[in-house]
């Protein structure tokens, strides 16, 4: 017990005396959350809109007013020909143009249906898709209110459950939690263990009465505690600053996070057992853990839209499962009954990795 306390004390000295470590541990979660929360968004606001209205009647005016008051669009210019549209796109003064054909209102009354042409800039497909969607929803809205008399038909009325306003911060918070825990737990532990190998102090620790398991636990516990502090910080910030709710049990969220931390720590230890330099450990952690966590976990790109091989690989990424769990608990208020499978996957991963690293962690140098 005495040895263990001494070991912990020493680890905390290492952590708090290295400004870079402290910055990564505490500054990074904060900065990332603020970055993703404020700066990096999927929503698009103030789309510059050009109108080519060839009929100038009550209906087109009403539609234009609706578009303008939706909050998404800013009317920048009135256009007078197809050529002008092209010109406006080329100089980048508009992101979308809407074309109303001649005799719009009359045609609508006569034929019951009429088309509006929506022109967007295809060189940025994501933006185009999103603003076309906005436009469509405004037009739909108009149709619903103005043409109550319209023909009977099947109509889709979308309702975005759990995130009705499609706030991207809702999407990012669970991903960020996974990313930060990966970084702190896996990267920092693997670096801290390989640092001792590099400086030769690991030799001295091995040639002592400490058992390998004791060395591992001594190295891991501080990061375990700090990672947990990070989880609490991120959840609290997300809730107070961005209003991200935690609809499910906070206790369950914390327990699941602890499980994920243990998985990440085991990965970190495993990396340190197969490398002997800090640089290699860092490369493996960054390229082998962080990139997949960002790209393959569903954090940014949905897993469902990946090609089959990547979807299969994504199952090996612990963050994928953690993400499902966190989104479930925080946004959907899911109870344990619905996420036990994902929890089990994480638990198995953690056990296997931990067992492998303890087995691989050599009692000797070779």
Partner 1 sequence: MKDAVLIASVGKRFGAVQALQEVNLSVGEGELFGFIGADGAGKTTLFRILVTLLLPDEGRAEVLGLDVVRSYRDIRKRIGYMPGKFSLYPDLSVEENLRFFASVFGTTVEKNYELIRDIYSQLEPFKTRRAGKLSGGMKQKLALSCALVHRPEVLFLDEPTTGVDAVSRKEFWQMLGRLREQGMTILVSTPYMDEAVLCDRIAFMQEGRMLALDTPTGITTLFRKPLFAIRARETWRLLCVLRVSPHAASVYAFGIALHYTDNRPSIRADELLAALQADGFTDVSVSVIQPGIEDTFIALMEEKQGAADE
Please name the residues in contact with 304: beta carbons below 8 A apart, sequence gap of 6 or more. 311
Residue among 126 and 209 whose Cβ is closer to partner 1: 209
Q: Please report how close the Cβ of residue 364 comes to partner 1 at its closest, in angstroms.
A: 5
Residue 210 phi, psi (nearest 5): -70, 140
Shortest Å, Cβ 19 to partner 1: 11
Contact positions vs partner 1 (CB under 8 A):
2-3, 5-7, 9-10, 13-14, 17-18, 199-201, 203-210, 363-366
Sign of the Cα torsion 17, 21, 25, 29 reads: positive
Please, what is the minimum distance in Å from the beta carbon of residue 215 to partner 1?
A: 9
Nearer to partner 1, 137 or 199 (CB): 199
Nearer to partner 1, 247 or 360 (CB): 360
**Closest CB to partner 1 among residues 2, 110:** 2
Q: Using only C-alpha atoms, what is the Rg of the chain?
A: 27
- What are the structure tokens assigned to 326, written together? 């966190």
100, β-bridge pairs:
53, 116
Nearer residue to partner 1 within complex by CB, 115 or 277:
277
Q: How far is the CB of 240 from partner 1 (least distance, A)?
A: 35
Who's near 79: CB < 8 A, 6+ residues apart? 50, 51, 52, 85, 88, 97
- DSSP annotation string for 3-48: HHHHHHHHHHHHHHH-HHHHIIIIIHHHHHHHIIIII--S----EE
Least spacing, CB of residue 331 vs partner 1, in Å: 42
């Amino acid at each position: 017990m005495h040895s263990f306390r001494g070991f912990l004390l020493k680890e905390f000295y290492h952590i708090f005396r290295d400004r870079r470590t402290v910055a990564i541990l505490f500054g990074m979660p904060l900065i990332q959350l603020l970055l993703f929360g404020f700066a990096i968004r999927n929503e698009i606001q103030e789309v510059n809109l050009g109108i080519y209205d060839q009929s100038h009647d009550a209906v087109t005016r009403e539609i234009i007013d609706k578009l303008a008051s939706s909050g998404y669009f800013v009317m920048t210019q009135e256009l007078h020909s197809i050529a002008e549209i092209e010109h406006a796109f080329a100089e980048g003064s508009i992101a979308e143009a809407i074309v109303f054909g001649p005799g719009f209102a009359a045609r609508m009354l006569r034929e019951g249906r009429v088309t509006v042409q929506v022109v967007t800039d295809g060189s940025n497909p994501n933006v185009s898709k999103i603003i076309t969607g906005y436009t469509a929803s405004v037009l739909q809205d108009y149709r619903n209110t103005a043409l109550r008399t319209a023909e009977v038909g099947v109509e889709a009325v979308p309702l975005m459950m759990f995130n009705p306003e499609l706030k991207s911060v809702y999407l990012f918070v669970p991903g960020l939690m996974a990313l930060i825990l990966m970084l702190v737990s896996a990267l920092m532990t693997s670096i801290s263990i390989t640092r001792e190998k590099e400086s030769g102090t690991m030799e001295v620790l091995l040639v002592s009465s400490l058992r390998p398991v004791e060395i591992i636990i001594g190295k891991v516990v501080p990061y375990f505690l700090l990672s947990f502090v990070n989880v609490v910080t991120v959840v609290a910030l997300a809730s107070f600053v961005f209003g991200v709710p935690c609809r499910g049990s906070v206790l369950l969220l914390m327990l699941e996070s602890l499980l994920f931390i243990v998985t990440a720590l085991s990965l970190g230890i495993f990396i340190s057992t197969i490398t002997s330099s800090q640089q290699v450990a860092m490369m493996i952690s960054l390229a082998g853990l962080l990139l997949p966590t960002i790209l393959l976990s569903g954090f940014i790109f949905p897993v469902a839209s990946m090609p089959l091989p990547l979807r299969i690989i994504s199952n090996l990424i612990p963050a994928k499962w953690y993400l499902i769990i966190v989104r479930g608990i925080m946004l959907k208020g899911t109870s344990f009954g619905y996420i036990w499978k994902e929890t089990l996957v994480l638990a198995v991963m953690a056990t296997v990795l931990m067992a492998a690293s303890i087995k691989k962690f050599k009692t000797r140098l070779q």
